[in-house]
Amino acid sequence: MQAYVDVYFNPDAVTANASFAHVLAERHSVRGYLEKPVSEDVLREVVALSRLAPSGANLQPGTFIAVQGEVRRALSADLLQAWRNQQQEAEDYSYFPSPMPLTLKRRQIASAKALYDALGIAREDRAGRDAQFERNFTFFDAPVALVVTIAHDLGRGCYMDLGMALYGLMLAAQSKGLSTCAIGAMASYPSLIRRHLSLDETSKIVCGVAMGYADPDAAVNQTRTSRVPLNDYFKTVG
């Protein structure tokens, strides 16, 4: 018992716990970045830390691909053109429920409203909304652009494992003073992305990730989404 008390009241442990809670609380989707580059060493460390996430049978599914230089410029240009031309591709997996339940639709609408309100874009301003959405395809001009893939023959549970690794990536980045934003819009053009990255059909496109140092003066970074009350998702039985 004495050992337990000593550990429990260890000041270093308390500080570590508080710091971790701070990282959790501070992480949010950032869509405005400084031009400050992210060093290769820091990027590699963040990606390596993401792999400490739990993984069923230690399969460690998924791949993070850093897209740079001319490949990134060409990819973003073609993604923008495809979206503006209203081209459609068969997505590799289904993300949203169809139809969307009303309770979830309300959360989706509230999230969009928070974003566009921060930017001063009115609901009826379709051009303004489209211009902001297009920034998904340039990775919000972040210094680091990642494309996340998963092998085509893995089970649904592996998506859960990859999701934990993605969250690990975001928290590791946050602990290094970096910010991130997952980009689900990338999943709308899997064939186009595979072509630019020289991937075959066995690689499913899951999402993109923007990473870099947040611009503190960017209005878009003032957006915060709410979370549902604890009692909506936490139950005690017995």
- CATH code, 64: 3.40.109.10
pLDDT of res. 15:
61
In a domain, 73, yes or no: yes
| Whether the predicted model's global pTM rises above the 0.75 cut | yes
In a domain, 164, yes or no: yes
Q: Return the higher-pLDDT residue of 37 and 3.
A: 37
Domains identified in the chain, total number: 1
Question: Which pLDDT band holds residue 2 (cuts at 50, 70, 90)?
Answer: very low
In a domain, 15, yes or no: no
pLDDT of res. 230:
94
**Residue of 133, 148, 120, 123 whose CA lies nearest to 207:** 148
pLDDT of res. 226:
87
In a domain, 238, yes or no: no
Q: Give per-residue pLDDT as tens, 131-186.
A: 999 999 999 999 999 999 999 999 999 999 999 999 999 999 999 999 999 999 99
In a domain, 98, yes or no: no
d(CA 80, CA 74): 10
In a domain, 195, yes or no: yes
Q: With 60 as the cut, is the pLDDT of residue 14 above it?
A: no
d(CA 103, CA 69): 42
Domain that holds residue 52: 31-87+137-224
Question: Which pLDDT band holds residue 221 (cuts at 50, 70, 90)?
Answer: very high
